[in-house]
């Protein structure tokens, strides 16, 4: 699960490139 989370966060970083959005998605998804 940890590896999956890292992969998702990497994708979010590439797509969003927005710390605020990334943090919000991180809270919602995990």
Q: Are 26 and 19 spatial neighbours (Cβ–Cβ below 8 Å)? A: no
Domain range for 14 is 1-30
State the pLDDT at residue 30. 52
Query: pTM of this prediction?
Result: 0.40
pLDDT at 8: 85
Q: What is the pLDDT of residue 18?
A: 60
pLDDT in tens, 1-30: 689 988 988 887 777 666 666 566 666 665
Tally Cβ neighbours within 10 Å of residue 2.
6
Q: Phi/psi at 5 (nearest 5 deg)?
A: -60, -45
* C-alpha torsion 4→25→23→14, nearest 10: 60
Per the structure, the count of domains in the chain is: 1
Place of tokens 């979010």: 12
């Amino acid at each position: 699960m940890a590896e999956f989370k890292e992969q998702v966060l990497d994708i979010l970083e590439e797509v969003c490139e927005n710390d605020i959005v990334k943090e919000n998605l991180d809270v919602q998804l995990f």
